[in-house]
């Protein structure tokens, strides 16, 4: 039985030049996950953390009380550890520079969706935390700048998520495969339960909000019809599974094989998901597990960000399924 802490130390030892900062950040995320896990599991017992906060984030989305709680929990854990120079969150208007001596001298920045799928909390459906870590590009010893956060996904040094469901799991990569750790509340430890996770090349699930079908581009509509067709050779029809929490849908497809889609639409002409907080970290995980992520044309990890809360269309999952979806989109583009 190997714990997350032991695994982090073991991996750090494989890199003689490692100084421990990245390991410290992962430890802060581990602590945040334990605290968020505790309060999510109390959600049905106290009204203080249920429902809306009364505020909206910069995207105009209603914030849940647990959105605010998870955001502040992560921020405080990172400040206390002193291993990151700055923090950017889906819930904040702009990035936060940790302008202390330790913060200015830190090498990394962290971006997060602190509670993905939070609207599901009140009905006891799985939610998650997504995180992404980059090396800063501004000079160490100075406060971080916006450019430190506007880096393409290929520059990520680590990314992962925590899923809070029937069990709480932390899944992450540092660019050398994907590993999953299940939380044992009786021990207070994350235990390595899913080493070297691999996404099947073909899947049997497609995840998309079909209630928005009439707003989708024709290429996406044709792909959905393809998924629903009966074809023994390709083991179709595929099963439709959509939870409404990216972490939960992605986690199932990582284990079982499938595709998650949030395309452009007449409602969201640029897409809905955020490149920096959702697209890049999930794309990094997908590629490290043998999967694929695209905006319908380009690899998500090659997109050059232009703004902190940039939205993109998002197709991620089993390689053959994502390639097929791309083919339908390309066919319509060329018509």
* Domains of the chain as residue ranges with CATH: 4-196 (3.30.540.10), 205-334 (3.40.190.80)
**Does 242 show up as a binding residue in the annotation?**
yes
pLDDT reported for residue 335: 60
Residue 213 pLDDT class (50, 70, 90 cuts): very high
- Give me 297's structure tokens: 């044309």
pLDDT tens across 323-332, in order? 999 999 998 8
Return the closest-CA partner of residue 245 out of 111, 74, 123: 123
DSSP element (H, E) containing 182? strand 178-184
* Buried/exposed 234-246: b ≥16 CB within 10 Å, e otherwise: eeeebeebbbebb
Tell me the H-state helices in the chain: 4-13, 21-40, 65-81, 101-104, 218-228, 246-256, 280-288, 319-333
Residue 18 pLDDT class (50, 70, 90 cuts): low
Nearby residues of 41 by Cβ (< 8 Å), 6 or more positions away: none
**Does 117 show up as a binding residue in the annotation?**
yes
**Does 132 show up as a binding residue in the annotation?**
no
Residue 116 pLDDT class (50, 70, 90 cuts): very high
pLDDT tens across 3-15, in order? 999 999 888 877 6
**Does 116 show up as a binding residue in the annotation?**
yes
Rounded Cα distance between 335 and 207, Å, is 26
Q: Are 85 and 109 in contact (CB under 8 A)?
A: yes
pLDDT reported for residue 119: 75
What number is the average pLDDT over the span 49-75? 69
**Does 272 show up as a binding residue in the annotation?**
yes
**Does 118 show up as a binding residue in the annotation?**
yes
pLDDT reported for residue 63: 65
pLDDT reported for residue 233: 87
What number is the average pLDDT over the span 255-259? 97
pLDDT reported for residue 52: 53
- Give me 293's structure tokens: 């992520």
**Does 119 show up as a binding residue in the annotation?**
yes
- Exposure of 312 by Cβ count < 10 A (0-12 exposed, 13-18 middle, 19+ buried)? buried
What is the crossing angle of helices 65-81 and 21-40, to 10°?
A: 150
pLDDT reported for residue 61: 58
Q: Between β-strands 314-317 and 205-207, what pairing exists: parallel, antiparallel or unpaired?
A: unpaired
The alpha carbon of 141 is separated from its chain's Cα centroid by a whole number of angstroms, namely 29
Return the closest-CA partner of residue 87 out of 65, 69, 103, 101: 103
Beta strands across the sheet bearing 314-317: 239-240, 205-207, 258-262, 314-317, 292-294
pLDDT tens across 91-101, in order? 999 999 999 99
**Does 307 show up as a binding residue in the annotation?**
no
Rounded Cα distance between 268 and 256, Å, is 29
Q: Are 44 and 99 in contact (CB under 8 A)?
A: no
**Does 113 show up as a binding residue in the annotation?**
yes
Assess whether pLDDT exceeds 60 at residue 54. Answer: no
Task: Give percent above pLDDT 90 in the chain.
Answer: 77
- Side-chain-side CA neighbours of 118 within 13 Å: the count stands at 27
Return the closest-CA partner of residue 268 out of 224, 312, 322: 312
DSSP for 78-100, please give it: HHHHT-EEEEEETTSSS-EE--S
- Exposure of 231 by Cβ count < 10 A (0-12 exposed, 13-18 middle, 19+ buried)? exposed
Residue 58 pLDDT class (50, 70, 90 cuts): low
Rounded Cα distance between 85 and 140, Å, is 9
Q: Between β-strands 205-207 and 239-240, what pairing exists: parallel, antiparallel or unpaired?
A: parallel
Rounded Cα distance between 3 and 183, Å, is 9
Assess whether pLDDT exceeds 60 at residue 304. Answer: yes
Nearby residues of 24 by Cβ (< 8 Å), 6 or more positions away: 81, 83
Assess whether pLDDT exceeds 50 at residue 319. Answer: yes
pLDDT reported for residue 17: 62
pLDDT reported for residue 39: 84
């Amino acid at each position: 039985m190997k714990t997350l802490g032991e695994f982090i130390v073991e991996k750090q030892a494989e890199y003689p030049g490692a100084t421990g900062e990245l390991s410290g950040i992962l430890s802060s995320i581990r602590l945040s996950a334990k605290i968020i896990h505790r309060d999510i599991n109390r959600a049905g017992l106290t009204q203080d953390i249920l429902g809306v906060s009364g505020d909206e984030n910069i995207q105009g989305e209603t914030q849940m009380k647990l959105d605010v709680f998870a955001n502040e929990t992560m921020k405080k854990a990172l400040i206390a550890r002193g291993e990151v120079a700055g923090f950017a969150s889906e819930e904040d208007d702009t990035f936060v520079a940790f302008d202390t001596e330790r913060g200015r001298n830190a090498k990394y920045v962290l971006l997060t969706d602190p509670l993905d799928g939070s609207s599901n909390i009140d009905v006891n459906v799985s939610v998650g935390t997504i995180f992404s870590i980059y090396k800063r590009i501004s000079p160490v010893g100075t406060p971080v700048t916006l450019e430190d956060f506007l880096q393409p996904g290929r520059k990520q040094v680590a990314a992962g998520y925590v899923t809070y469901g029937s069990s709480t799991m932390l899944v992450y990569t540092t660019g050398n495969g994907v590993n999953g750790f299940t939380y044992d509340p009786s021990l207070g430890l994350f235990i390595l339960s899913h080493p070297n996770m691999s996404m099947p090349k073909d899947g049997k699930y497609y995840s998309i909000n079909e209630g928005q079908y009439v707003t989708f581009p024709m290429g996406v509509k044709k792909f959905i019809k393809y998924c629903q067709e009966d074809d023994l050779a390709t083991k179709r029809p595929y099963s439709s599974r959509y939870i409404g929490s990216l972490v939960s849908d992605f986690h199932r497809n990582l284990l079982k094989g499938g595709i998650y889609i949030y395309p452009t639409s007449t409602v969201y002409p640029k897409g809905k998901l955020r490149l920096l907080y959702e697209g890049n970290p999930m794309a990094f995980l997908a590629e490290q597990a043998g999967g694929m992520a695209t905006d319908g044309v380009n690899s998500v990890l090659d997109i050059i960000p232009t703004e902190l809360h940039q939205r993109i269309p998002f197709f991620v999952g089993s390689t053959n399924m994502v390639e097929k979806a791309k083919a339908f989109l390309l066919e319509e583009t060329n018509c």
